[in-house]
């Protein structure tokens, strides 16, 4: 037994002194945000045509759509414009004197339509953002429906995201540096970068405008509307793991 004890002692010493030490690391959350003035808009227009027949209603709607396409591009101050007309529907309207005698779900069977409406949704995207109000104003002159500003966006979203990423990483490094100094250690290299909860960290990612229509400035709405151009916050957040190193010994 004494001989066996003698052989095990060097092995125990090696486990204690020869096994590589686990590096000291610190993980911090970095957050960065930039405020960017929007430069593009999106307007929704509902155009409605009326007629005694389906053909008349569609003809009225088609004329409004033609006017929108031809006149909005002439609006002074507009730099780019894109149309997207879809979601069309034609609806029959029953004679009120007949409809009041039946439940609503029976009206269409018992009371034939006396007139029709044709409705279409038109999405208009463009720039600059400050002209969104005038787009709405002119659209109400050209149609019998309604129009509203849906949202504002940033055309160069990638540049804003890059700025937010740099700010977030600088924030993470500053936090890790404080921890390293408080621990008497030196901040080392980055070991890992992780998104929180595996989520995309950029706020409101939007695709840039495509299929832009050339514009000619020659039209002014009867009522010009000036709007306050908003800003948009683009942010980034992620976890960064740094290695902490022993400070270098000073030369004697």
The residue whose two tokens read 């400035």 is 217
Q: Per-residue pLDDT tens for 56-111?
A: 999 999 999 999 999 999 999 999 999 998 889 999 888 887 877 666 555 556 77
The residues, any chain, with a CB within 8 Å of residue 6's CB and separated by 6 or more, are none
Report d(CA 170, CA 33) in Å as an integer: 11
Over residues 183-200, the mean pLDDT reads: 79
The residue whose two tokens read 């018992």 is 110
Report d(CA 224, CA 212) in Å as an integer: 24
Q: Per-residue pLDDT tens for 196-221?
A: 665 433 333 333 333 344 444 566 77
């Amino acid at each position: 037994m004494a001989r066996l004890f003698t052989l095990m002692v060097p092995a125990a010493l090696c486990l204690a002194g020869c096994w590589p030490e686990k590096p000291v690391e610190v993980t911090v959350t970095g957050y960065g945000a930039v405020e960017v003035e929007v430069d593009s808009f999106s307007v929704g227009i509902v155009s409605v045509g009326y007629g005694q027949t389906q053909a008349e209603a569609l003809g009225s709607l088609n004329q409004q759509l033609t006017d929108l396409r031809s006149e909005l591009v002439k609006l002074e101050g507009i730099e780019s414009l894109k149309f997207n007309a879809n979601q069309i529907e034609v609806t029959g309207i029953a004679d009120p004197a007949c409809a009041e005698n039946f439940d609503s779900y029976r009206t269409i069977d018992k009371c034939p339509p006396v007139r029709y409406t044709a409705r279409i949704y038109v999405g208009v995207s463009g720039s600059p953002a400050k002209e969104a109000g005038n787009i709405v104003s002119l659209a109400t002159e050209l149609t019998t429906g309604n129009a509203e500003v849906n949202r504002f966006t940033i055309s160069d979203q990638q540049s804003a995201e890059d700025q937010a990423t740099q700010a977030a990483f600088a924030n993470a490094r500053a936090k890790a540096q404080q921890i390293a100094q408080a621990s008497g250690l030196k901040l080392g290299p980055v070991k890992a970068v992780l998104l929180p909860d595996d989520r995309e960290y950029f706020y409101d990612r939007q695709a840039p405008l495509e299929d832009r229509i050339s514009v000619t400035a020659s039209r002014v709405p009867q009522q010009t509307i000036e709007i306050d151009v908003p800003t948009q916050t683009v942010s980034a957040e992620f976890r960064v793991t740094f290695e902490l190193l022993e400070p270098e010994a000073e030369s004697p």
